[in-house]
Structure 1
Amino acid sequence: MTSELVIDVQQKEISIALLEDKNLVEYQNEPRSASFSVGNIYVAKVKKLMPGLNASFVDVGYERDAFLHYLDLGSQFNSYEKYIKQVQSDRKKLYPFAKAMRLPDLKKDGSVQSELQQGQEVLVQIVKEPISTKGPRLTCELSFAGRYLVLIPFDDKVSVSSKIKSGEERARLKQLIHSIKPKNVGVIVRTVAEGKRVAELDTELKVLMKRWEDAIKKVQETQKRPQLVYEETSRVVAMLRDLFNPSYENIYVNDEEVYKEVKHYVTLIAPEKANIVKLYKGTVPIFDNFNVTKQIKSSFGKIVNYKHGAYLIIEHTEALHVVDVNSGNRTRSNNGQEANALDVNLGAADELARQLRLRDMGGIIVVDFIDMSLAEDRQILYERMCKNMQKDRARHNILPLSKFGLMQITRQRVRPAMDVNVEETCPTCFGKGKIKSSILFTDQLENKIDKLVNKIGIKNFYLHVHPYVAAYINQGIFSLKRKWQMKYGFGVHVVSSQKMAFLQYEFYDSKKEFIDMKEESETM
């Protein structure tokens, strides 16, 4: 299996697509202005105590207060509090972390009122992004994740990933980390550290320690509360950190700045793979070029088709996700209803495992498979689902089919499920149901081009239109495009974009920045 990463950088958002054997398996879309990411650390203020929940609400600058449970204060909460007070007592000289005192562990059966009070400052980290009506979920057990290691201040343990099975390798890594780790920190060794040399691990440990020290410096220097003191690495780099593996063949990026950032990171973690990072310079949109746009439009939405006419219906609710499996207009198997049901269900298990990763669906997922009477067939389906989910990085648990034919799955949820609206609003009538004559559409485009060139003064630009419209504009030796170029200059470029709806258009300048050419009459 080969993996490719395609990164589409736009003016307002960044989209990341992971392809396995050219099939889309993970997709993330994030506004470039997004500030509430999992892993960010804040100095925040306790807003309200909730003794009944044994929790508190904390102000981290989000419109809804974040939730902090007593058990999420962590065993070393008192050590953090004491050290933060020592740091803030002297604004000029930083109190050395090596001299910080580790206090006794927090009691697990304690109450929130005994540890927190309204207005108190706490150092917190986001573990879940805001979802629906809920604010972010917080913890006071801080951690700094790297490619090979996770650093935990005020801990002293060294843990090794349970996925590293070799007892000899586990012992080697533990001994190695104990010999290089500074005082007052714990370390979790990640699976990808297996077989790595001490120099690589030591380099990353120093980088993680520097991040912790920089965060503490920011706590000392700033007085504004709440205050962001550590920002998780960019979405692109964070995804690379968690996903990167030697099977990656290519990483394509369409923005020079992000390309340099990604290239730098890959050079750090795997110098021999630095040449797989490539800058995409084509005129066709990057997602169209790698067939990502088409896969997004066919994979999202309420109904998802898979093999031989069968399909899934996926509904999202506040509490859970519900999936219904339908055989559709599928031709019946010669082996009877039972064999047909098993075949449809196995196909559904393959597609569902992909959908869970693709949409990042978390929480409780209930799947209504087609009823099967044979216990061995139900076991085959359960084993197939478990095998498919092995590729999923998120923690999950799968229960065998109940007597009603339902399968229950729980999957780790740290951010809202990705829900892409694949339905297109008519760009010309805006829901009114009536449009100008479509034969006049190219005349409308020419008026826009004339205004752009002769009134605004932009002579080099790209016009993005639906592939059918692009084919019409480009047809023939003396095409419309050629006539426009003769009349307005050779800076006129027509780009076929699968993202566009029929009779929709967008203008971009030579720097690929969007030019709004819609008039008031068109947007009413």
Structure 2
Amino acid sequence: MSAELYVDVAPKELTIALLEDRKLAELRKEQSNVQFAVGDIYLGKVKKIMPGLNAAFVDVGYEKDAFLHYLDLGPQFRTLQKYVSQLKTKKGAAALHKLKPDEDINKNGTISEVLNPGQEVLVQVAKEPISTKGPRLTSEISIAGRNLILIPFSDRVSVSQKIQRPEERNRLKRLLLSIKPKNYGVIVRTVAEDKRVAELDKELRTLVKRWEESALKLKETKAPGLVVGEIGRTTAFLRDLFNPTFHSIYVNNQDVFREIRDYIELIAPGREKIVKFHNGNVPIFDQYGIEKQIKASFGKTVSFRSGAYLIIEHTEALHVIDVNSGNRSKSASNQESNALDVNLAAAEEIARQLRLRDMGGIIVVDFIDMQDNEHRQKVFEKMKEAMASDRTKHNILPLSKFGLMQITRQRVRPEMLIETEEKCPSCLGTGTIGPSVLFDDKIEQSVRLAVQQQNLKKLTLWVHPYLYAYLKRGFPSKVLKWRLKYGFGLKVLPSDSMAFLEFKITDHKNQKAGLK
């Protein structure tokens, strides 16, 4: 399998697309000013204690109070609070490895025993705001790295269950126990398998330094306030995902390009050349066919093989996926074999859709009915195999007698929803349009206004590829006539993201021209 990453940096949004074997596997969209992302550390203030829920609502600056359950405080919560209290004083605090830990909190205790309204508390975002809910918090602070996760106020060393060789697990555990400072715990990630001691020691020191620098910010932070944000979105994505199958990373922004190249050089020396800068006129997602894949992969109906398709419905409580054979060829020997073939192919596509849309919570899949128990088991095994590469925690149950499969998948951020059905840009939903033969006159009028009203010397006209072909045909083409008439600063480019009779005009900074 080969993997490619494409990063589209726009003024207000960052979009990351992961392709595996040239097929879209994951898509992330982040607002440039995103807050309350998983991993962000805040100094919050307790607003309410809810004894019935054994939880507290904490003000971290979000419009709705965040939720902190007693079980998410962590055993060493008292030690954490003592450390924060010392840092907030003028004298400061001793280094964490010199701090004497307090007694662990009672795991069967109540929230009222350790928290009071108005109290300041150091928390980390465990789940981003979703729908009407605020962020979910934890006080078990962790600092994630490429190979290790640092857990301050703990002394445990845990090794990823995906590292299966007992001798390697024992080696990593002994190694980390010997090099980690006191009062720091460590989780060894799967990618640390067979890594040398020097590399792990270097990363451990970096994570400890990052925590110490973050902790010092507490002195100047007033609750509610951000203490430290998660690293760059693209870098965080690569930290969790990068592996030897990556052979190219394309970026259309110089600053992000340098950030990614430096990070790849750090975690995989010698491979920084796979990071490439895209500086063409055509948008990066259009250039590499990603926009077309996005349009084909989202929406209510998704086709996947020989006419078979999925119907995907979303509700507040759960997601429902219905598998249909459609007008698929009936070449199979019987209905049972045909159902098995469609269901096996559907399992692969469903696993891809769960990652792509980042669907979380309860997912119910209605497969085509099969009578043979052996065939049901094959579909169950296929689904487990297809979801093996999914990094998000999930659980899959075998098919019920009704042909339903239940899947639970951890939800830590809002689901990725992209509307593929667009309001007609020509009729604006009214059902009627002006004469299409005059459409090129409408475009020319907009170009003239951009040149005369806004005095744009360099402008780009974006149109649908079919319309682009029409405007470029013949000699002299309409595009050439416009350039002769309004100046050679005019460029006309096709865009897969545009609707058929839609166009937009941008200036030299790629900002949309605001025509009167």
Which range, TM-score by smaller chain?
over 0.9
* Residue equivalent to 1:209: 208
* Residue equivalent to 1:47: 47
**8 A Cα contact 1:506 1:516, kept in partner:** no
Query: For 1:401-459, what per-residue CA distance to the aligned partner results, in whole angstroms no more than 9, with x for missing partners?
Result: 11111101111111111111001112233222233322222222222222222332221
**8 A Cα contact 2:86 2:92, kept in partner:** no
How far is the alpha carbon of 1:394 from its aligned partner? Answer: 0.8
Gaps of 5+ in 2: none
Task: Quote the Cα distance in structure 1 between the aligned partners of 2:103 and 2:474.
Answer: 81
How far is the alpha carbon of 1:95 from its aligned partner? Answer: 3.7
* Residue equivalent to 1:373: 371
Residue from 232, 255, 258 that aligns with 1:257? 255
The one-letter code matched in structure 1 to 2:28 is Q
Query: For 1:185-215, what per-residue CA distance to the aligned partner results, in whole angstroms no more than 9, with x for missing partners?
Result: 0111111111222222122112211221122
Residue from 391, 411, 418 that aligns with 1:420? 418
Any idea what SS the aligned residue of 1:241 has? helix
2:338 is the counterpart of 1:349:
no
**8 A Cα contact 1:94 1:220, kept in partner:** no
Any idea what SS the aligned residue of 1:514 has? coil
How far is the alpha carbon of 1:88 from its aligned partner? Answer: 0.7
How far is the alpha carbon of 1:508 from its aligned partner? Answer: 2.2
| 1:91-490 aligned within 5 A | 93-222=92-221, 224-490=222-488
**8 A Cα contact 2:251 2:278, kept in partner:** yes
Query: TM-score, normalising length from structure 1?
Result: 0.96
Task: Quote the Cα distance in structure 2 between the aligned partners of 1:435 and 1:38.
Answer: 46
How far is the alpha carbon of 1:483 from its aligned partner? Answer: 1.1
Task: Quote the Cα distance in structure 1 between the aligned partners of 2:4 and 2:379.
Answer: 29
Task: Quote the Cα distance in structure 2 between the aligned partners of 1:370 and 1:131.
Answer: 32
The one-letter code matched in structure 1 to 2:232 is S
The one-letter code matched in structure 1 to 2:507 is D
The one-letter code matched in structure 2 to 1:60 is V
* Residue equivalent to 1:31: 31
The one-letter code matched in structure 2 to 1:105 is D
The one-letter code matched in structure 1 to 2:484 is M
The one-letter code matched in structure 1 to 2:465 is P
Query: For 1:29-76, what per-residue CA distance to the aligned partner results, in whole angstroms no more than 9, with x for missing partners?
Result: 111111121000000011111111111111111111111111011101
Which stretch shows the higher mean deviation, 206-215 or 262-271? 206-215
**8 A Cα contact 1:70 1:112, kept in partner:** yes
Task: Quote the Cα distance in structure 2 between the aligned partners of 1:182 and 1:438.
Answer: 72
Residue from 495, 501, 504 that aligns with 2:502? 504
How far is the alpha carbon of 1:507 from its aligned partner? Answer: 2.0
**8 A Cα contact 1:452 1:459, kept in partner:** no
Query: For 1:87-106, what per-residue CA distance to the aligned partner results, in whole angstroms no more than 9, with x for missing partners?
Result: 1111x645432322211111
Task: Quote the Cα distance in structure 2 between the aligned partners of 1:506 and 1:93.
Answer: 57
Query: For 1:131-176, what per-residue CA distance to the aligned partner results, in whole angstroms no more than 9, with x for missing partners?
Result: 1111111000000000011000010111111211222222222222
Q: Over aligned residue pairs, what C-alpha RMSD do you find?
A: 1.3
Task: Quote the Cα distance in structure 1 between the aligned partners of 2:202 and 2:173.
Answer: 16
Any idea what SS the aligned residue of 2:167 has? helix
**8 A Cα contact 2:97 2:184, kept in partner:** no
Task: Quote the Cα distance in structure 2 between the aligned partners of 1:66 and 1:84.
Answer: 20
How far is the alpha carbon of 1:15 from its aligned partner? Answer: 0.8
Task: Quote the Cα distance in structure 2 between the aligned partners of 1:340 and 1:188.
Answer: 46
How far is the alpha carbon of 1:308 from its aligned partner? Answer: 1.2
Task: Quote the Cα distance in structure 2 between the aligned partners of 1:203 and 1:514.
Answer: 46
Task: Quote the Cα distance in structure 2 between the aligned partners of 1:471 and 1:373.
Answer: 53
How far is the alpha carbon of 1:318 from its aligned partner? Answer: 1.0
How far is the alpha carbon of 1:115 from its aligned partner? Answer: 1.0
Query: For 1:294-344, what per-residue CA distance to the aligned partner results, in whole angstroms no more than 9, with x for missing partners?
Result: 111111111111111111111111111111111112232341111111111
Task: Quote the Cα distance in structure 2 between the aligned partners of 1:277 and 1:69.
Answer: 42
The one-letter code matched in structure 1 to 2:133 is K
Task: Quote the Cα distance in structure 1 between the aligned partners of 2:403 and 2:59.
Answer: 45
Any idea what SS the aligned residue of 1:318 has? coil
**8 A Cα contact 1:237 1:262, kept in partner:** yes
Q: 1:480 to 1:94 in 2, by over 3 A?
A: farther
Task: Quote the Cα distance in structure 1 between the aligned partners of 2:457 and 2:188.
Answer: 56
Any idea what SS the aligned residue of 1:390 has? coil
Task: Quote the Cα distance in structure 1 between the aligned partners of 2:17 and 2:186.
Answer: 31
How far is the alpha carbon of 1:503 from its aligned partner? Answer: 1.8
**8 A Cα contact 1:44 1:124, kept in partner:** yes
Task: Quote the Cα distance in structure 2 between the aligned partners of 1:278 and 1:512.
Answer: 21
* Residue equivalent to 1:11: 11
The one-letter code matched in structure 1 to 2:199 is E
**8 A Cα contact 2:450 2:513, kept in partner:** no
How far is the alpha carbon of 1:239 from its aligned partner? Answer: 0.6
**8 A Cα contact 2:83 2:93, kept in partner:** no
Q: Percent identity?
A: 58
Task: Quote the Cα distance in structure 2 between the aligned partners of 1:441 and 1:262.
Answer: 43
Task: Quote the Cα distance in structure 2 between the aligned partners of 1:231 and 1:470.
Answer: 44
The one-letter code matched in structure 1 to 2:3 is S
Task: Quote the Cα distance in structure 1 between the aligned partners of 2:287 and 2:381.
Answer: 36
Query: TM-score, normalising length from structure 2?
Result: 0.97
Task: Quote the Cα distance in structure 1 between the aligned partners of 2:386 and 2:285.
Answer: 26
**8 A Cα contact 2:45 2:224, kept in partner:** yes
How far is the alpha carbon of 1:257 from its aligned partner? Answer: 1.3
Task: Quote the Cα distance in structure 2 between the aligned partners of 1:514 and 1:256.
Answer: 21
